Structure 1
Amino acid sequence: MNPADPLLRILACPLDKGPLTLLPAEDVLYNPRLHRRYPIIDGIPQLLPSSGEQVDESEHRRLTSHT
């Protein structure tokens, strides 16, 4: 998945329904509001609530410093 992919405009977090940020270096979609990241496996975003991973504050700062 790349930043120009039109799919990014319609993808939303399954928990708060808000937009997600693509972190291509990490190959994840990130929700900075909930501090949750969702993996992209073989180009397919895994957006089930159970697929998301909660990140701690230091990881959140690291991930948001990329944007």
Structure 2
Amino acid sequence: MDEKLSRVDPKLLELMVCPLTKGRLTYDREHNELVSEKAKLAYPIRDGIPIMLVSEAREIEE
């Protein structure tokens, strides 16, 4: 994958929130996902675009 496409602009990340909880998201570089700890969901990033749909998110196990 192109390295530029796998990065998330830190300014954009500050503005984005989980669509379910409206809580903060963190970027997981290893999995290329935006993670909502509160919702225990990880939203995929495809071709540099965050897919912010709960139906597309992966559940995170503790």
TM-score between both structures, scaled by the size of structure 2: 0.79
Q: Which runs of 5+ in 1 are unaligned?
A: 58-67
| Partner deviation per Cα, 1:10-45 (whole Å, 9 max, x = no partner) | 111010011100011210000111211000001000
Structure 1 outlier segments of 4+, above 6 Å: none
Structure 2: unaligned runs, 5 residues or longer: 1-6
Please give the alpha-carbon distance, in whole angstroms, between the structure 1 residues aligned to 2:27 and 2:51: 13
Once the two structures are aligned, what percentage of the paired residues are identical? 36
Cα RMSD (Å): 1.3
TM-score (norm 1): 0.74
- Are residue 36 (structure 1) and residue 38 (structure 2) matched? no
